[in-house]
Amino acid sequence: MKITDLKCAVIGGFPVVRITTDAGIDGIGQAENWKPNLKPHILYYRDMILGLDPTNVEAVMQRIRRMGSFKPWGAAVSAIEIALWDIAGKAANLPIYKLLGGKVRDKVRVYNGAIRFPLRDQSPEAYAEDVRKMAASPEGFSLIKQGIAFHSRMPNDIPGYYTGDPRAWGRHPHRGMLSAAGFRHTVACVEAMRNALPAHIELALDCGPGFLPPDAVRLAQAVEGMGIAWLEDMLTGDYVPYVSAAQYRDVKAKTSTPIHTGEQIYLRQNFMELIETHAVDVIGPDPLDVGGIAELKWITEYADIHGIAMAPHGTGDGIFGLAALVQVCATLPDNYIAFEYPLARPEWWYDIVDGLPDVIVKDSYIDVWDRPGLGVTFNKNAQKYLLDEDKGFFDL
């Protein structure tokens, strides 16, 4: 079998990869829906993989892996990797999890980081209302995550929240020391959310990037008695192209609150220092940014032997990203906590694919399906959502 083409179409905001072969088998991969600019970057790799056997996934990835980078640029390589596994599974008539060593669980736990509601303001009462709504979602999530501090509107909407000037450019651009009032407000919002939730529902907090280490320590210590699942990306994180493992290690050493990071990091090599120095308690790579699902599995196993937990990121990964997460998380060792459940927006995405269960999440779990490859495929309804420039996306 040989690769005959690599295509990319932007469908409902998601860059979607399709790899075709001379055996008539294709594979689908996907990048997050806020990365439509990735299309030319994905197509950059086309000539590097044409003519290769797609079922030799590692051999193909060796051609392109070194030319990716931290989020968002690793998404192109990651989407291609997932499409290759989709082909390999279909060719073997097996679900991908079988090719990754087999499943160790029949259902995978997920958490709610995406089903959120517009906050009426940045008050503790508004945050409490929001997590109540998140907890009431019919998926029955046992763990929810809310954005606070530099991963929220607090720096813009709370006067004098931190020492810097509020910024309107980029993603999560704020960074600096919290004011006394800003710190108290943040803790009050956390207390309100924790008190609004029943005891059986865990609360994780997406905090940055943007904290300096002294404030990260203060916040982590201030919430120690609240049973917070983790504090995520306080120092570095979303769209930050470096790791700062030493700073994370210093914070972690001064608190019992679990510290989490990793969604922007590309490749196993860039997780080594975090893992080997025990700089964090939980890591959360995204399979659509880290280099793919085999990369995620390798990192999870390496973290496990160092006593570090795994909670993969995934909020914007879409339906094919969801399928990839289900397949790989079924194979992960016991340090797996849950992955962040991705929603597909617009809603019509659920009408253009086949293979999803009628009810995807039940009591915070997804049953692992056994269809070949990713187990999810496009149907004929997808054609009408293609842009004019992508009309040939589904052609042989």
347-366 pLDDT, tens digit per residue, is 999 999 999 999 999 999 99
Q: Which two tokens stand for residue 141?
A: 């999530």
83 with 120, same domain: the answer is no
Secondary structure letter of residue 212 according to DSSP: -
Q: Given this model, what pLDDT does residue 396 score? A: 84
Given a cut of 90, whether residue 219 has pLDDT beyond it is yes
For residue 393, is it within any domain? no
Phi, psi of 91 (to 5 degrees): -65, -35
201 with 345, same domain: the answer is yes
For residue 191, is it within any domain? yes
Q: Given this model, what pLDDT does residue 171 score? A: 87
173-215 pLDDT, tens digit per residue, is 999 999 999 999 999 999 999 999 999 999 999 999 999 999 9
57 with 165, same domain: the answer is no
Secondary structure letter of residue 54 according to DSSP: T
What's the rounded Cα separation, in Å, for the pair 374 and 328? 10
Closest CA to 180 of 204, 155, 163, 167: 163
Q: Which two tokens stand for residue 26?
A: 């294709």
What's the rounded Cα separation, in Å, for the pair 383 and 213? 50
Phi, psi of 102 (to 5 degrees): 95, 155
The answer to whether residues 218 and 182 touch, using CB atoms and an 8 Å cutoff, is: no
Given a cut of 90, whether residue 170 has pLDDT beyond it is no
The domain boundary, picked from 46, 70, 93, lies at 93
The helix or strand, by DSSP H or E, that contains position 34, with its residue range, turns out to be: none
Q: Which two tokens stand for residue 396?
A: 């042989």
What's the rounded Cα separation, in Å, for the pair 319 and 342? 7
359 with 212, same domain: the answer is yes
Question: What CATH number does residue 322 fall under?
Answer: 3.20.20.120
Cα 123–211–271 angle (5° rounding)? 125
Give me the sheet containing 309-310, strands edge to edge. 143-147, 202-206, 231-232, 259-261, 282-283, 309-310
Which amino acid would we find at residue 234?
M
205 with 306, same domain: the answer is yes
Question: What CATH number does residue 54 fall under?
Answer: 3.30.390.10
Give how many domains the chain has, as a whole number: 2
Q: Which two tokens stand for residue 4?
A: 């005959």
79 with 140, same domain: the answer is no
**In the chain, pLDDT over 90 holds for what percent of residues?**
96
What's the rounded Cα separation, in Å, for the pair 14 and 32? 6
Distance in angstroms between the alpha carbons of the first and the last residue of the chain: 15
**Confidence band of 34 (pLDDT split at 50, 70, 90):** confident
DSSP string covering 283-351: E---TTTTT-HHHHHHHHHHHHTTT-EE----TT-HHHHHHHHHHHHTT--TTB--EEPPPPSSGGGGG
The helix or strand, by DSSP H or E, that contains position 203, with its residue range, turns out to be: strand 202-206
79 with 122, same domain: the answer is no
Q: What is the mean predicted confidence (pLDDT) over 299-323?
A: 98
120 with 220, same domain: the answer is yes
For residue 387, is it within any domain? no
Residue range(s) defining the domain that contains residue 364 = 99-377
The answer to whether residues 330 and 323 touch, using CB atoms and an 8 Å cutoff, is: no
* Beta bridge partner(s), residue 231: 205, 259
For residue 382, is it within any domain? no
81 with 119, same domain: the answer is no
Given a cut of 90, whether residue 282 has pLDDT beyond it is yes
Which residues 6+ apart lie within 8 Å of 310 measured at CB?
282, 283, 284, 299, 300, 303, 304, 332, 335, 336, 337
23 with 166, same domain: the answer is no
49 with 110, same domain: the answer is no
45-69 pLDDT, tens digit per residue, is 999 999 999 999 999 999 999 999 9
44 with 152, same domain: the answer is no
Q: What's the half-sphere exposure (Cβ side, CA atoms, 13 Å) at 343?
A: 12
96-124 pLDDT, tens digit per residue, is 999 999 999 999 999 999 999 999 999 99
* Beta bridge partner(s), residue 353: 378
What's the rounded Cα separation, in Å, for the pair 396 and 383? 14
What's the rounded Cα separation, in Å, for the pair 107 and 114? 20
Closest CA to 134 of 153, 122, 118: 118
Which residues 6+ apart lie within 8 Å of 383 measured at CB?
394
* Beta bridge partner(s), residue 20: 5
For residue 306, is it within any domain? yes
Given a cut of 90, whether residue 274 has pLDDT beyond it is yes
**In the chain, pLDDT over 70 holds for what percent of residues?**
100
Given a cut of 90, whether residue 279 has pLDDT beyond it is yes
